Structure 1
Amino acid sequence: MAPKKPAKNLPPKELPVAPPTLPWPRLHPLLPASSLSLQSILPEQIVTIPNFFTSTLCNTYLSFLQKNISLTTTPGKPKRGEAVRVNDRFQTMDEVFAKTLWEQSGLKEIVEREEDQVGLWGGEVVGLNPNIRIYRYMKGQFFDKHYDDSNLLPSFPTPNASGSSRIPCETTWTLLIYLTGPADGIVGGETVFYTEATKKLKSEEIVVEPEKGLALLHRHGRDCMLHEGRLVSEDGGVGKWVLRSDLVVRRAK
């Protein structure tokens, strides 16, 4: 019998998508984009932006989320084709917040600094996925080994010379922003990537610790690496919180 393939990170259909009515906090304070840079963990696969959110901003968003959203715990026995995950989730479609996060956080400037943007990001980056997801991992929760799928966005809003238009796009990189970390008493919960094994080399682990304020970007879709969110062994009474979106690129005709 062939070995069972790791599940993909498919959107759980049972979770309700909330209307875009959240009064998101202002993105302040932030470090200037000129003080931030991409740190390559694995070339063209995994990069991070340390201090992308300041500690103060992380605390502001954490307090806001704790008061304003209702989390849904994912089932321990997922549907066929879904990754095994035990965590608490919330998602909302919010084009305004996605645009704000892209343009005002400094991410747009950081992404566009790269010389070969199309080669690195898989196309011309036009913004962030409006499907905003919030994850919380309490003690004993985890996200098993999986791959993240790319998603097609047939009508994505982009500015042009005459105002704005909607064009077909797709996602190419996952964006994770850690709102808590070891400073909050979190132990475990690392995001771990696995290189492919060959006849001569064993698979190796690439471990990214959920540092508070860190942004992690990793390629997804057909070039996604196998990865997992390790079990949280201590949650500090607050849990590991993550804000998730994706880089969106213009689809090639």
Structure 2
Amino acid sequence: MKARNIGSNSKMTEIVARKRKMGDRKEKTAPKWPSIKPKNNLHVTPLRDFDLFTVQNFFSSAESKAFIETAEGIGFAHQGSLGPAKGEAYRDNDRISVNDAVLADSIWDSGLNKLFSDIRIRGKAAVGLNPNIRLYRYKVGQRFGRHIDESNDLGDGKRTRYTLLVYLSGGPGELKSKAKNDSNKPTDSSFDRLVGGETVFYGSRNSIVAEVAPIEGMALLHIHGDKCLLHEARNVTKGVKYVFRSDVVFA
């Protein structure tokens, strides 16, 4: 009778079991973001020349709601800070961060590229959006204290120069429903009209330069880096505030 190689058989069994386990894993599917349609005749409202301006109806109501639905499906993570005592702005909101160059390009090409066609910073032109896409959720009592947005070097001569915020809720067309029996979805306050959550910009001597109330689909753009105005996201007192965030890249 031949001796059995128990060690070899055990190793083979372990390899087969590992392969079966790997085969059982489900591949994570990429988020299904809404298809962004081209926007013609976008209207710009300057709040401080082209350093700070808004764009009405940058996202349609359907696009805004679809972003919220997809984001809630992904799931938000809470984001806080050490606070002013530790040199950080007070921050209390929920956040998602994904890298998606295709989504960034589709939003840029939907009309934002035309708005920036004549803007130059230190001889550089706007070339697109930062593929690092962030979505924020502010429930009742949440806010983001006074802070400035930094300019980030993306390499290859590319640098972020403007903050892009698009309000996904607020005003006449905001979210009115939520999925049932899902603890990760917004609370019942999502049935309420959004109150609060204004983005406020400050100038010298604490003077208010602009106070922007969230309106569904409206974009807010402001220069950041060394020319960034001190600003804050005020406390939400009713409803839920959702925001899409990226940056305009120059090169």
Counting only pairs closer than 5 Å after superposition, residues 236-247 of structure 1 correspond to structure 2 as 239-247=240-248
Change (3 A) 1:140 1:122: farther
Residues 64-79 of structure 1: pairs in structure 2 closer than 5 A: 64-67=70-73, 69-75=74-80, 77-78=82-83
* Cα distance in 2 between the residues matched to 1:107 and 1:76: 32
CA deviation digits over 1:100-147, x for unaligned, max 9?
A: 2111x21112221x3xx214x972111000111000000000000000
- Match runs of 1:108-123 below 5 Å: 108-112=113-117, 114=118, 117-119=119-121, 123=124
Q: CA deviation at 1:168?
A: 2.1
Question: Which of the residues 205, 218, 221 maps onto 1:217?
Answer: 221
Relative to structure 1, is the Cα distance of residues 134 and 53 closer, same or farther in structure 2, using a 3 angstrom cutoff? Answer: same
Aligned partners of 2:29, 2:200: CA distance in 1, in Å? 32
Matches within 5 A, 1:153-232: 153-154=154-155, 167-183=156-172, 184=174, 185-197=193-205, 203-232=207-236
Structure in which a larger fraction of residues adopt helix: 2
- Between Structure 1 and Structure 2, the one with more strand by share is 1
Report whether the alignment pairs 1:22 with 2:31.
yes
Q: How much does 1:240 deviate?
A: 0.4
Q: May I ask how many residue pairs the two structures share in their alignment? A: 204
State the partner residue of 1:106: 111
Which residue does 2:60 correspond to in 1? 54
TM-score normalised per structure 1: 0.75
TM-score computed with the length of structure 2 as normaliser: 0.75
Identity of counterpart residues, as a percentage?
A: 39
* 1:81 to partner: Cα distance: 3.8
Which letter maps to 1:52? F
Whether the aligned pair in 1 keeps the contact of 2:144 and 2:233 (CA below 8 Å) is yes
Relative to structure 2, which stretch is displaced further, 181-190 or 76-85? Answer: 76-85
- For structure 1, the 5+ residue unaligned runs are 1-18, 155-166
Query: What letter is aligned with 2:116?
Result: V
Q: Give the Cα separation in 1 of the matches to 2:123 and 2:69.
A: 35
Aligned CA distance change for structure 1 residues 21 and 179 (closer, same or farther; 3 Å): same
Q: Mark the structure with the bigger radius of gyration.
A: 2
| C-alpha deviation, 1:205, in angstroms | 4.2
